[in-house]
Amino acid sequence: MSSRREFTRAQKAEMLKRAMDGQGQIRCEGCGLNITGKVIEFDHIVAEALVLDKTVLLTSRDGRVLGRDCCHRVPGGKTARDCGDIAEAKRREARHLGIRRSEQARRTGFGRPAPQRTASRPLAKPAAWRGSGAATVQAAPGDQREVGCDRDPC
């Protein structure tokens, strides 16, 4: 795979002259904002990663002057769109060539967790403090009354 092609100093100077207006101010070629004295970047019009034939020499027409803070590296700017296009091209190429992730790579990570206990689920073993039945107390001679039961009404 070839390395990335960069613009020469002469090509950058030519692009800067092209981006200057009549008053000598450098304008962003993306939005027209005055970027004189601000950070500028020389951008490839077609993303370099998407170019197949890298033996062809670059010209100043293959690039443009962009402001870093207005058009080039802001969220949703040209660099962000280029990264998405490059990733899509790589996925498309892998799908075309039939390249798949290995089974081991698909299975990495944590396993399926055990089901959690829920509050509505019946208890497997009743609590010891609840007792096994209703307690009876002699309230009056010959009168029996139920004092407690398995289920508390509260």
Residue 79 lies in a domain: yes
How many independent structural domains does the chain possess? 1
- Burial class of residue 51 in the structure, from the number of CB atoms within 10 Å of its CB (0-12 exposed, 13-18 middle, 19+ buried): middle
Residue 133 lies in a domain: no
Enumerate residues 6+ apart whose C-beta is below 8 A from 131.
Answer: 148, 150
Question: Tens digit of pLDDT for each residue in 58-114?
Answer: 888 999 999 888 877 778 778 888 889 999 999 999 999 988 877 766 666 777 778
Residue 36 lies in a domain: yes
Residue 119 lies in a domain: no
Judge if pTM exceeds 0.75: no
Beta bridge partners of 41: 66
For 14, the domain range is 9-103
H or E element at residue 66 = strand 63-67
Residue 94 lies in a domain: yes
Lookup: tokens for 36 = 């004189």
Lookup: tokens for 116 = 């959690």
Helix, strand, coil percentages, rounded to 5, for the chain:
30, 15, 55
Share of the chain above pLDDT 90, in %: 23
CB 110 within 8 Å of CB 116: no
Beta bridge partners of 145: 137
Residue 131 lies in a domain: no
